[in-house]
C-alpha cells in the first residue's frame, strides 16, 4: 500500500510507515509541491499525510482515486480539509491535537512578551551599533502583571495560554462558542461576550479555529472596541483577523501592538505590517519545536497505520469509512 506524504517530515514518520510494510511516496522537499505535483503525488494512494498548506478537496480526492482510506493532517487545524467530502467518500481524517498545545501557547507568549517589552526594537538597536547605553526612558514597554488576558477560544491551546497568563499574575477572561466550566474554575477565568472581552482586555489572544463564523472575527469594528494600549496576539489562523483593518488600527494607534504567527495569505504578509514598529511577525512557528514536530510526525504515521490495519485511532475528525 502507498502512502503519499506531501513534504519532508521528521524521519520517524517514514520509519514507522515503512516498518509497517507501507510504501512511502514523498514530496521530498521543504517547499510545497505545485498543485499539479500534489495531484500526481496522491494518484493511487491508500493513505495521505498532508499539511495545512495542501488543499484536500474534491479534486484532490478524485486524483487520489477510490483506494484512499485515510488522510492525516500534520496540524491540529483542519480548515484545509473538506471534511464532508472525505466523509462522503469514506476517507478517515486524522489530525494532531494535544501534542502541540504547549508549543503553541509558548509561542503566543513569546510574541506577547516581545511586543510588550519591545524586544525586536531593542535587538535592532543593539545590532545597529547605535545603542549608547542604559537610559531611564529608553524603549519603555508595558507591564503585564495585574492586567487582563482575554482568550478567544478556550480550547486546549487557549487554556494553556491562559495558564501562562495566570503564572504572570494576569486576570483571565474568555469567550467562545461554549462555556468551559472546569477550565473556568481551574484558571479563575470569567466568561464574557466577545464585545466585552475586547473592551476589558489588555491582551487579546486568539485560539479559535478558522471557520466561516470566525472569519474576520477581528475586523475594524472589533479593533475599534479594543483599548488603545491593547496587544493582539494571533497564533490561530490568519483569516480570523481582517489584516488590512489591523494595519489601519495599528497605524492610527487604535491598539497598542500585535504579535502575529499567522497571516491571511501565507506566505504573503500584508506589506503594511512589515513597516510597523509595534508588531512582531513570526513565520507560522506555533508547533515548531523539535519535540513537537517529532510527536506530530509519529501521530500522523500511527493514525495512517491504525486506520489501514483496522485498529483504533484517537482524535479522528472523520472516522474510518466516513462513519457510515
The correct pick among 157, 187, 198, 200 for binding ligand GLV (CB under 6 A) is 157
Beta bridge partners of 149: 172, 203
**Which one of the spans 81-89, 142-150, 155-163, 245-253 is the region binding ligand GLV (CB under 6 A)?**
155-163
Least spacing, CB of residue 154 vs ligand GLV, in Å:
9
| C-alpha torsion sign, points 93, 29, 33, 266 | positive
Residue 73 in grid coordinates: 493532517
Residue 191 in grid coordinates: 466568561
Contact status, residue 205 vs residue 151, Cβ threshold 8 Å: yes
The correct pick among 16, 17, 69, 97 for binding ligand GLV (CB under 6 A) is 97
286 makes contact with ligand GLV (CB under 6 A): yes
User: What separation, in Å, do the N-terminal and C-terminal C-alpha atoms of the chain show?
Assistant: 23
Helix and strand element counts for the chain (H, E): 13, 13
> Which has the closest alpha carbon to 94: 60, 59, 47, 131?
47
**Interface mask (CB under 6 A) for ligand GLV, residues 57-76, using x and -?**
------------------xx
156 makes contact with ligand GLV (CB under 6 A): yes
The correct pick among 52, 56, 63, 223 for binding ligand GLV (CB under 6 A) is 52
Q: Identify which of residues 150 and 286 has a Cβ nearer to ligand GLV in the complex.
A: 286
CA separation for the pair 245, 226 (Å, rounded): 13
320 makes contact with ligand GLV (CB under 6 A): no
287 makes contact with ligand GLV (CB under 6 A): yes
Alpha helices in 8-71 (DSSP H): 12-19, 35-42, 58-64
98 makes contact with ligand GLV (CB under 6 A): yes
Instruction: List active site positions.
Output: 237, 266, 284
Binding residues for ligand GLV (CB under 6 A): 52, 75-77, 97-98, 100-101, 155-157, 286-287
Amino acid at each position: 500500500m502507498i502512502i503519499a506524504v506531501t513534504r519532508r517530515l521528521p524521519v520517524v514518520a517514514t520509519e514507522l510507515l515503512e516498518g509497517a510494510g507501507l510504501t512511502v511516496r514523498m514530496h521530498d522537499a521543504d517547499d510545497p509541491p505545485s498543485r499539479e505535483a500534489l495531484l500526481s503525488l496522491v494518484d493511487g494512494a491508500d493513505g495521505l499525510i498532508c499539511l495545512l498548506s495542501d488543499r484536500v478537496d474534491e479534486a484532490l480526492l478524485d486524483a487520489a482515486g477510490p483506494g484512499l482510506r485515510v488522510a492525516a493532517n500534520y496540524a491540529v487545524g483542519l480548515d484545509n480539509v473538506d471534511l464532508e467530502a472525505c466523509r462522503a467518500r469514506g476517507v478517515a481524517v486524522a489530525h494532531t491535537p494535544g501534542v502541540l498545545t504547549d508549543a503553541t501557547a509558548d509561542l503566543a507568549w513569546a510574541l506577547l512578551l516581545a511586543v510588550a517589552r519591545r524586544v525586536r526594537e531593542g535587538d535592532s538597536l543593539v545590532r545597529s551599533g547605535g545603542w549608547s547605553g542604559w537610559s531611564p526612558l529608553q524603549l519603555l514597554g508595558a507591564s503585564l502583571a495585574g492586567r487582563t488576558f482575554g482568550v478567544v477560544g478556550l480550547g486546549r491551546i487557549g487554556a494553556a495560554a491562559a495558564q501562562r497568563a495566570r503564572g504572570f499574575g494576569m486576570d483571565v477572561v474568555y469567550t467562545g462558542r461554549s462555556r468551559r466550566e472546569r477550565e473556568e474554575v481551574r484558571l479563575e477565568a470569567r466568561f464574557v461576550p466577545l464585545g466585552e472581552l475586547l473592551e476589558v482586555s489588555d491582551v487579546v489572544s486568539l485560539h479559535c479555529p478558522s471557520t466561516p463564523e470566525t472569519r474576520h472575527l477581528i475586523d475594524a469594528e472589533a479593533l475599534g472596541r479594543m483599548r488603545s494600549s491593547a496587544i493582539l496576539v494571533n497564533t490561530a489562523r490568519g483569516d480570523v483577523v481582517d489584516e488590512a483593518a489591523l494595519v489601519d488600527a495599528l497605524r492610527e494607534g487604535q491598539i497598542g501592538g500585535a504579535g502575529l504567527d499567522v497571516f491571511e495569505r501565507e506566505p504573503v504578509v500584508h506589506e503594511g505590517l512589515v513597516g510597523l514598529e509595534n508588531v512582531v511577525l513570526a513565520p507560522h512557528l506555533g508547533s515548531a519545536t523539535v519535540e513537537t514536530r517529532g510527536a506530530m510526525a509519529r501521530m500522523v504515521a500511527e493514525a495512517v497505520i491504525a486506520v489501514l490495519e483496522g485498529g483504533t485511532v484517537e482524535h479522528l475528525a472523520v472516522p474510518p469509512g466516513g462513519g457510515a
